[in-house]
């Protein structure tokens, strides 16, 4: 049983890596000038988006963990003054602070999603959050406006759930 | 170690696969923004920019580490590895002690952060991925020396 569980968890991480690569191929192909590559990129992005939406109830449980890991990474990057594992890419103190605030707030808000059933607004917000984050990643920049827009999606979903009438009725543990 | 850290990370691995597919160098998952999530935090915690520290660590016990660590991150369903969380619960053996000791501090620190944030197992699993990449990097560096 223990071995089975271990293999299952390892398999889930490998599938996550495969999704990452597929989405990465899609995004990088989108930004290339070649028409054929862009069509291929759309194909990869479509597959990645379908998997993303269909498996949302599962990966939402580890999503805050990945963002919290981002907070740790931002802390290390700020302390070292360059991107994690990339000494040739300098990072200013201000950029480090922006990243820490972004990943800290995102992890805190998204952790509330794991304690309740996901609504349609949550799903749309999560999709928009990841799409905006990928857009920033593809352009290789740390834009406070872009990151704030992504964070705003999560804040909107949290506020919508918190202040809507059916808030207490939907407080169902998904674990 | 520091020089190769990017290659031995989740983001570096993904970028390598994307670059291989597209035939162009890609740094989508290892740029300044994405590397904080997909980078190897364990390697950074252990070695940072200090190439000298890494060289000292792995030149002094390199052969031993290479021999013992090779099985450590890959061992599964046994009770002799200290690195992977996939092992059976029980008394551990002495095989991968060298590498385990070098990663103990980082694991302890990250474990505390994870527990503090109540993320538990998933945080440990994410850390384990970085530990496995670091172990692979250590083996690779030792073999080259």
Residue B55 above 50 pLDDT?
A: no
Question: Which residue from A minimizes the CA distance to B118?
Answer: A65
State how far residue A4 is from chain B, nearest Cα, in angstroms.
10
> Is there a domain that residue B5 lies in?
no
> Is there a domain that residue B2 lies in?
no
> Is there a domain that residue B57 lies in?
yes
Q: Looking at the 3D structure of chain B, how many domains does it have?
A: 1
> Is there a domain that residue B116 lies in?
yes
Tokens linked to A6: 């271990």
Domain hosting B92: range is 10-144
What pLDDT, in 10s, does the model give residues A32-78?
778 888 899 999 999 999 999 999 988 898 899 999 999 999 999 99
DSSP label of B61 = S
> Is there a domain that residue B4 lies in?
no
CB A133, CB A150: distance < 8 Å: yes
> What pLDDT does residue A7 have?
83
Nearest to B126 among A69, A91, A136 (CB): A69
Q: What confidence tier does B69 reach under pLDDT thresholds 50, 70, 90?
A: very low
> Is there a domain that residue B115 lies in?
yes
* Residue of B3, B27, B33 for testing the chain A interface, max A β-carbons within 10 Å: B33
Residue A14 above 70 pLDDT?
A: yes
3-state helix, strand, coil in chain A (%, to 5): 75, 5, 20
> What pLDDT does residue A159 have?
92
CB A146, CB A79: distance < 8 Å: no
> What pLDDT does residue B114 have?
52
State whether residue B20 sits within 8 Å of chain A by CB.
Answer: no
B3-12, B71-80, B128-137: range with lowest mean pLDDT: B71-80
Residues of A in contact with B85 (CB under 8 A): 6
What pLDDT, in 10s, does the model give residues A98-122?
999 999 999 999 999 988 888 899 9
> Residue A105's closest CA among A67, A77, A72?
A67
> What pLDDT does residue B134 have?
84
């Amino acid at each position: 049983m223990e071995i089975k569980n271990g293999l299952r968890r390892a398999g889930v991480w490998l599938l996550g890596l495969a999704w990452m690569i597929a989405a990465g191929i899609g995004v990088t192909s989108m930004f290339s000038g070649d028409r054929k590559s862009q069509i291929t990129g759309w194909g990869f992005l479509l597959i990645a988006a379908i998997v993303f939406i269909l498996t949302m109830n599962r990966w939402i449980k580890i999503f805050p963990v990945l963002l919290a890991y981002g907070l740790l990474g931002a802390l290390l990057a700020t302390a070292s003054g360059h991107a994690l594992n990339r000494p040739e890419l300098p990072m200013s103190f201000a950029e480090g602070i922006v990243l820490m605030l972004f990943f800290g707030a995102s992890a805190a808000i998204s952790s509330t999603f794991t304690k309740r059933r996901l609504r349609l607004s949550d799903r749309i917000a999560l999709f928009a959050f990841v799409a905006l984050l990928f857009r920033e990643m593809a352009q290789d920049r740390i834009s406070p406006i872009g990151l704030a827009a992504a964070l705003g999606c999560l804040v909107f979903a949290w506020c919508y759930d918190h202040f809507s009438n059916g808030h207490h009725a939907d407080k169902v543990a998904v674990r | 170690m520091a020089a190769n850290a990017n290659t031995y990370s989740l983001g570096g691995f993904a970028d390598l696969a994307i670059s291989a597919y597209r035939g162009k160098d890609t740094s989508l998952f290892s740029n300044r923004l994405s590397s904080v999530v997909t980078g190897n935090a364990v390697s950074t915690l252990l070695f940072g920019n200090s190439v000298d520290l890494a060289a000292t660590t792995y030149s002094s016990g390199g052969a031993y580490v290479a021999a013992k660590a090779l099985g450590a991150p890959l061992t599964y369903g046994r009770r002799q590895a200290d690195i992977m969380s996939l092992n059976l619960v029980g008394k551990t053996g002495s095989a991968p002690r060298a590498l385990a000791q070098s990663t103990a501090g980082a694991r302890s620190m990250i474990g505390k952060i994870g527990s503090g944030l109540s993320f538990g197992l998933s945080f440990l699993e994410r850390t384990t991925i970085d530990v496995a990449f670091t172990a692979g990097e250590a083996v690779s560096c030792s073999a080259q020396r």
